[in-house]
Amino acid sequence: MPKFNIFLDSSALMAGAISESGAAHVLLNLGESKDIVLTVSELVILESERAMAKKSPGNLNDLRSLIKSSNLKIIENPSRKEVEANLYLIKDPNDVPILLAAIKAKVDYLATHNRKHFLDDPQVAERSGLRIGTPGDVLAWLRDNL
């Protein structure tokens, strides 16, 4: 059975820590059981911890525990030069490092809850060559492909 590689952005990682019944949490459980590979970048970890400390500090320890238990593959951030050369990929320049990390990791899917910059702009998936969807979309895709 193939091991699918799923990239989580900070919105998906945080959702998995906050809601134990959501699709993002199921993905984290699949990573913990090593049924799939979950990949994040260093920036995703940093963004997630920073946002969680600000928006939901009571869940920060849950996030940190899930980061450890979910067997996340943490990859380096792309260089500034790589980011600057790929600004055309997505409208928000702050999301370019996330998209580039997913591309470089050769993931099967990028899971996000970021509608404005990722999900509602089909050009992002087209330009990047990535499948991009919500954690629920990823679970449906996994079901169809296992």
Reported as a single tens digit per residue, the pLDDT across 18-52 is 988 999 999 999 999 999 999 999 999 999 999 99
Alpha carbons within 13 A on the beta-carbon side of 126: 5
Domain residue ranges of the chain, discontinuous segments joined by +: 5-145
Q: 112 and 119 in contact (C-beta within 8 Å)?
A: yes
Instruction: Answer whether 0.85 is exceeded by the pTM.
Output: yes
Is the confidence at residue 1, as pLDDT, over 80?
no
Q: What is the CATH number of domain 5-145?
A: 3.40.50.1010
- Please give the C-alpha separations between residue 20 and each of 12, 36, 112, in angstroms, as whole numbers: 12, 18, 17
Residue 107 φ/ψ, nearest 5 degrees? -80, 160
Which residue type occupies 7?
A: F
Q: 58-117 pLDDT, tens per residue?
A: 999 989 999 999 999 999 999 999 999 999 999 999 999 999 999 999 999 999 999 999
Helix (H) or strand (E) holding 55: helix 42-55
